[in-house]
Amino acid sequence: MAAITVEGLRKSYGATNAVRGVDLEIADGEVFALLGPNGAGKTTTVEIFEGYRHADAGTVRVLGLDPARDASALRSRIGIVLQSTAVEQYLTVRETLSMYAHYYEHPRSVDELIEIVGLEEKRDSRVTKLSGGQQRRLDLAIGLVGDPELLFLDEPTTGFDPSARREAWQMVRNLTALGKTVLLTTHYMDEAQSLAGRVAVMVAGRIVAEGSPDVLARRGGEAKVRFRVPEGVSPPALSLSPSADGRVETSGDLARTLYEVTTWALAQHVNLEDLDVVRPSLEDVYLDLIRQGETS
């Protein structure tokens, strides 16, 4: 079953067409990432799925429900981490989570949540005293209070330090191991690549590309073999000749090129310290899509 299906979604704010015809299907148990530049319409789309905003047009089904009509039934089954959360600043971490736990019939234990997001040392600190990254961890804990089937994460790791980001990723993986569905937005390509089975790139209210991160990245062209020919050594017999400083970059059949280069290197006793196989990254393809999307 699909966790989310949407067809022909549209939303304007006055003269601003934020979402201009979005079709998507997100399967049960999938981690799906919505990518796109500032103002692309990601938050608007996600907030319509959550029942926080109303669409102007389109059909939306989330866990089989219409978020515009069944918002309260939906609320008990989804978890939400908004892009910016306004939690009561004077409450402590523990008090905040206890307050949210009251909204659910079967909440997770507050102590367990604090442990999951690694806020043990701050459990009795007021929200105002938390760092930006710690507040974001609290937001994540709030999203998990109701033990949701479907979790919405709007830029979940913005402001996290690198190790906190890895921990958050592990948390998301743990959730999916339990069969939960996750829809996240992010500006970090490594986050999408590491977490998402599928991504969609949104530009100016439309989805311009969709697929697995690896398949999308391959649109950037084929992998290349790169190395440098040391001074005074004659280069291998490849179709491309080295640049002035000896650098070679070749495409074509990867195995054959590597074979030719390494055979040559062994015969010439060249130590190929800087031999690389370079693949186009999701980021390269993403930046191209954005450029095309903004000019079309």
Decide: is 186 part of the binding site for Mg ion (CB under 5 A): no
- Closer residue to ligand ATP (CB): 36 or 213: 36
From 2-10, 37-45, 225-233, 288-296, span contacting ligand ATP (CB under 6 A):
37-45
Residue pointed to by tokens 């089989």: 64
Q: From CA 64, how far away is CA 41, in angstroms rounded?
A: 23
Decide: is 41 part of the binding site for ligand ATP (CB under 6 A): yes
Question: By beta-carbon distance, which residue lies closest to Mg ion?
Answer: 43
Nearest-10 Cα torsion for 154, 160, 163, 164: -60
Concatenated DSSP letters of 70-123: -HHHHHTTEEEE-SS----TTSBHHHHHHHHHTT-SSPPPHHHHHHHTT-GGGT
**Could you tell me the smallest distance in angstroms from the CB atom of residue 64 to ligand ATP?**
25
**Could you tell me the smallest distance in angstroms from the CB atom of residue 102 to Mg ion?**
28
Q: Residue 39 binds what, of ligand ATP, Mg ion, none (CB under 5 to 8 Å, by partner type)?
A: ligand ATP
Decide: is 157 part of the binding site for ligand ATP (CB under 6 A): no
Decide: is 18 part of the binding site for ligand ATP (CB under 6 A): yes
- What is the end-to-end Cα distance of the chain in Å, rounded? 35
Q: From CA 141, how far away is CA 117, in angstroms rounded?
A: 6
Q: From CA 186, how far away is CA 201, in angstroms rounded?
A: 10
**Could you tell me the smallest distance in angstroms from the CB atom of residue 40 to ligand ATP?**
4
Decide: is 54 part of the binding site for ligand ATP (CB under 6 A): no
Q: From CA 162, how far away is CA 175, in angstroms rounded?
A: 20
Identity of residue 293: G
Q: Which of 4, 36, 40, 43 binds Mg ion (CB under 5 A)?
A: 43
Q: Do residues 66 and 6 make contact, with C-beta atoms less than 8 angstroms apart?
A: no
Q: Residue 35 binds what, of Mg ion, ligand ATP, none (CB under 5 to 8 Å, by partner type)?
A: none
For residue 267, the 8-state DSSP code is H
From 10-18, 79-87, 100-108, 218-226, span contacting Mg ion (CB under 5 A):
79-87
Contact residues toward ligand ATP (CB under 6 A) are 13, 16, 18, 36, 38-44, 83
